[in-house]
Structure 1
């Protein structure tokens, strides 16, 4: 079932500025941190070189630019997470989706390639692969979509037929065409299936609890069980 939500609630769910979990996501692993540190060092060095060339004429501007650049390693995760949030907030309409898991499967995805040199001095391409879980979810109206996330041990608890909830986004008033989705929540397991944590999960769970008890949701649940019994 799909229940439209207000713009105000949507902006509460997906804040303009990055949350702590979003910052952690973009903080990344050691290679990501090392790359940001390198950019910070290069930025600070460029500011010093330019100051040496131009003298004291643009001291204040160069100092500010150098300071910002030198702390790139620290503020970059906030910037990139906020950019991701802004892209989501461009959708004009949103809704609360409740459905079921129709199917799931595991795939081995190519995430990227890296060129390196082996002991013989030959150029080789190393593939970066990652196992990911794919979920097909749908509701009693026939709507279905797919969600993909990195495979985790906790996902062993996932089974066909489990109730799922998520936020959907669209530029159509009636949500007839879904153009964006959030992470997936499985209430019975209190389990989130996601790559990037789009939402304020505390607000989503509060909204979920309220809508779960609504008459519309109870009717949809009855129709689902009736359909399953016929199948």
Structure 2
């Protein structure tokens, strides 16, 4: 099942400003916070040094710069999440898709590579590997895609055949070619699967309930673009 959404609904379900879940995602881990705090400190110190060198001119402007720079650690996640939202909002068309889980499998993905010195002082390449769950989903019209996310204990309850829902983003009004996928919702478990919380989950649930008993006309199955596999 694939149902096009209006622009108004699109703007509600994928907002411009980061949601709480998106802010939490962009907040990162402790080392991310420490890195932002260090940047905030460097910004404040740089502004102070520039003021010493060139003199303290407009006190109001300098104070604003101090506040913005000093609070970088706090507002940066909002900016990061909003930029990521824009990657989805640049698609003019979006559709609500419902299908089912076809297959479940686990893979190990290379997340990052770093160089570290070993006990002999030689640089060695250290790979950061993460176990990820892959859900292959599809519908009777032939559409299929793979949604991937870091492994969580709550995912153990997922079984093939369960109802799966998500948004499909496209540059085509007929949604015949998909550019991006949102995170996946499993209504039977009230569970979300995905790397990034694209949608406002309360509004998505409302959309899910609204189309719960609908029987839309059969549409030609969309095809996946280059970014069809969601990561």
**Structure 1 position 212, deviation (Å):** 1.1
Change beyond 3 A, Cα 1:59–1:53: farther
- The yes-or-no answer on 1:185 pairing with 2:188 is no
Alpha-carbon separation, structure 2, partners of 1:5 and 1:180 = 15
Query: Which residue is 1:119 aligned to?
Result: 119
Q: Where does residue 167 of structure 1 map in the other structure? A: 167
After TM superposition, give the deviation of residue 69 of structure 1 in Å. Answer: 1.2
Identify the residue that residue 60 of structure 1 maps to in structure 2.
60
Other structure's SS at 2:202 match: helix
Gaps of 5+ in 1: 221-231
State how far apart, in whole Å, the 1-side matches of 2:5 and 2:205 are: 14
How many equivalent residue pairs? 219
Instruction: Tell me the CA shift for residue 68 of structure 1.
Output: 0.9
Higher helix share: 1
Q: List structure 1 segments (4+ residues) > 4 angstroms apart after TM superposition.
A: none
CA contact 1:51–1:58 (8 Å) conserved in 2: no
Could you tell me how far apart the structure 2 residues matched to 1:65 and 1:129 are? 40
Give the equivalent residue in structure 1 for 2:6: 6
Q: CA deviation at 1:40?
A: 0.6
**Aligned-pair RMSD on alpha carbons?**
1.6
Q: Deviations over 1:73-121 (max 9, x none)?
A: 1110011111111221111000100001122211100100122223332
Superposed, 1:127-146 pairs within 5 Å as 127-146=127-146
Separation in 2 of the partners of 1:53 and 1:190?
A: 58
Secondary structure of the residue aligned to 1:141 is: coil
Secondary structure in structure 1 of the residue aligned to 2:177: coil
Is 1:109 the counterpart of 2:141 in the alignment?
A: no
Deviation string for 1:39-75 (max 9, x for gaps)? 1111111101100111022443333223211111111
User: Is the CA contact (8 Å cut-off) linking 1:183 and 1:192 kept in structure 2?
Assistant: yes
2: CA distance, partners of 1:17 / 1:188: 29
Measure the CA separation in 2 of the matches of 1:40 and 1:30: 15
**What SS is found at the alignment partner of 1:125?**
strand
Equivalent position SS for 1:188 = coil
Partner SS state of residue 178, structure 1: strand
Counterpart CA distance in 1 for 2:215 and 2:78 is 40
Residues 175-220 of structure 1, C-alpha deviation per residue, up to 9 Å, x if partnerless? 0001111110111111111111111111111110110111338x99
Q: Give the aligned partner of residue 157 of structure 1.
A: 157
1:79 matches 2:83: no
Counterpart for residue 199 of structure 1: 199
Deviations along 1:138-187, one digit per CA (max 9) or x if unpaired, are 11110111111111111111121211001111110000001111110111
Aligned equivalents of 2:63, 2:54: Cα separation in 1: 13
Unmatched segments (≥5 aa) in structure 2: 220-231
TM-score (norm 1): 0.90
Report the 3-state secondary structure (helix = DSSP H, G, I; strand = E; otherwise coil) of the residue aligned with 2:4.
Answer: strand
Q: Distance in 2 between matches of 1:62 and 1:30?
A: 30
Matches of 1:93 and 1:28 in 2, distance apart?
Answer: 30
